[in-house]
Amino acid sequence: MSVALVKKNNILDLFSYMESLAKNSYARIYLTQLGLDTSNSWEATKLEMMNQLFDQNDKLKVADALPKLKRVAKALHLTNRHIIQLIQGDAKTFADIRTALDNLVITPSDYSKVFPFEHTGKMTSTGFPVLTAIEKDTNGWAVYFSTPKIKKIKVPIVVQQNGKPRTVMLDDEVIKHVYEVVYVPFNNDRIELRVSGETYKKDIEETLDRLRQAFYDVLRVSGINLTSLTIMQLEKAIVSLYKQDGYGKVVDTKFISVKNRTLMPRSNQRKTDNCLREQKYHKAGEKVEAVKCVGLIIQFKKRTTKKNLLVTTRLHLECEPNSDYNTCSHFTLENPIGNAKALYTINHLIKSNV
């Protein structure tokens, strides 16, 4: 096999992996920022970039593109669609945590060598997060853990129907490594646990707990006292954000009757594009009985400065049913335009939690 063909196959493998991480419309934000050609579907984007890389008249070389693709993959691990849990604590504990992260050295391993791309050959299948990499950016530290997950994929199978071969898609389960992230900002005393938004509902609490314990183990090695650390409860933010008329567009809500605990969900039809804060349904209902907002999805639409790409960001908070809708220990943030925007959104969420 020629060297050129090997390079092309390697690049295609990287694209296929990034395609499994995010929608093309979101990945384009990061690809275009780095001067890489894109289009309106993953297949078209791959074609554009292969032409850009292997066209003799184009100045972009594979050696230059690989670091850029790694940066894109890291960004997608950090800010794609995440279920996030916030950990708070006292100032001294966080001063110690920042010192520990500044001095943290990760021993090279099979995990760190392939990061930020997936490779399952020699990796664990135990399900427990493995410390893989640490990155320091302009806002804080991102600590990456590799965790094997069982995922359902569609597999083409050829069957005979009426004597003729026909291809059908069947579900199959495979082990894939997901990079979960712990983010610690420079200027805010909090830990952000970010796990894949594709995590099954029944597995969310266990997944967050395992990531939290894995990170705590890293901190304990540095001798840090963790007794002040607690999970931040965000149920007050739900009520507050619903009342903030100028903050995004509410496209989904859940209200509960204070008296009889009846749940009243309300979704917005996409074609109407109305904000549910303005719907008479809830305003009239509140005159009949006392209700409390226990869940909402807030949507933001914005165009990027480069390529004028329209990005839809969503913030989803909901109180947990197993607490009778009284507590909210995590939320989902989908498609923020970069990590700085994610931090800004989380800061606003915390300020609203009063």
Residue 170 in tokens:
């069947």
Percent of the chain with pLDDT over 90: 46
Looking at 228, 250, 280, the residue that finishes a domain is 228
- Taking only the tens place, the pLDDT of each residue in 54-95 is 766 555 677 777 888 889 999 999 999 999 999 999 999 999
Looking at 193, 228, 263, the residue that finishes a domain is 228
Whether residue 244 is found in the same domain as residue 151: no
Whether residue 132 is found in the same domain as residue 155: yes
Whether residue 24 is found in the same domain as residue 55: yes
CA nearest 347: which of 137, 101, 84? 84
- Taking only the tens place, the pLDDT of each residue in 181-227 is 999 999 999 999 999 998 888 899 999 999 999 999 999 999 999 99
CA distance 270 to 192: 31
CB neighbour burial string for 200-212, b if at least 16 within 10 angstroms, e if fewer = eeeebeebbebbb
Range of the domain at 313: 235-351
Q: What is the mean pLDDT of the chain?
A: 87
Is residue 229 within 8 Å of residue 191, measured between CB atoms? yes
Whether residue 89 is found in the same domain as residue 42: no
CA distance 50 to 35: 14
Whether residue 57 is found in the same domain as residue 144: no
Whether residue 292 is found in the same domain as residue 192: no
Instruction: Please count the structural domains in the chain.
Output: 3
Looking at 177, 206, 228, the residue that finishes a domain is 228
3-state SS record for 93-105: HHHHHHHHHHHCC
Whether residue 208 is found in the same domain as residue 139: yes
Whether residue 92 is found in the same domain as residue 203: yes
